[in-house]
Amino acid sequence: MGFCMNYWLLKSEPEVYSIDDLKRDKKTFWDGVRNYQARNFLRDSLKLGDMVLFYHSNADPTGIAGFAKVVKEGYPDPTATDPKHDHFDPKSNPDNPTWYGVDIQFVKKAKRVLPLAELKGIAGLEKMALLQKGQRLSVQPVTAKEFKIIEGLL
């Protein structure tokens, strides 16, 4: 760890699950991702100790609300095969899981939500995945440089 730590951005609608919910729970299973590209990151790329920017989408304001870290690497998402669950996927097979999640732990709340509109104007973030046109992925890589710029503002 440390050596090859990576950084990520996870989006959540705060009305569904906010940074305050994570603060209360201390730790949560990041479930419900049903997009293959995001799934690949969760299953293959998020590693123990990686840092996470917790992003509030569909919110007022939308933006970076806090920090978390990965405390358990990808494992199958049981909500995908639970017919009673909102995130049930009738096509997924419990013997060959399609959908994965990770456990994240609360690190800290941002002093203030850093709004998307403000991120767009910060030097050094021009290439950030979040700011690229049409970027809707709910799990995105962040570079060390981008992470440090944002950390320095919060």
Partner DNA sequence: GCCAACGTTGGC
Where along the sequence are the contacts to DNA (CB under 7 A)? Answer: 11, 13, 34-37, 57-59, 62, 91, 116-117, 133-138
Q: Quote the distance between the C-alpha of residue 114 and its chain's center.
A: 16
Decide whether 6 or 62 has the Cβ nearer to DNA: 62
Q: Torsion-angle region of residue 26: left (phi > 0), alpha (psi -120 to 50) or beta?
A: left
- State how far the Cα of 84 lies from the Cα of 112, in Å rounded to an integer: 37
Contact 65, 55 (CB under 8 A): yes
Decide whether 60 or 95 has the Cβ nearer to DNA: 60
Strands (E), the chain: 7-12, 27-30, 51-56, 63-76, 100-115, 139-142
CB of 137 to DNA, least distance (A): 6
Decide whether 59 or 107 has the Cβ nearer to DNA: 59
CB of 151 to DNA, least distance (A): 20
- State how far the Cα of 44 lies from the Cα of 27, in Å rounded to an integer: 20
Decide whether 84 or 133 has the Cβ nearer to DNA: 133
CB of 86 to DNA, least distance (A): 11
CB of 31 to DNA, least distance (A): 12
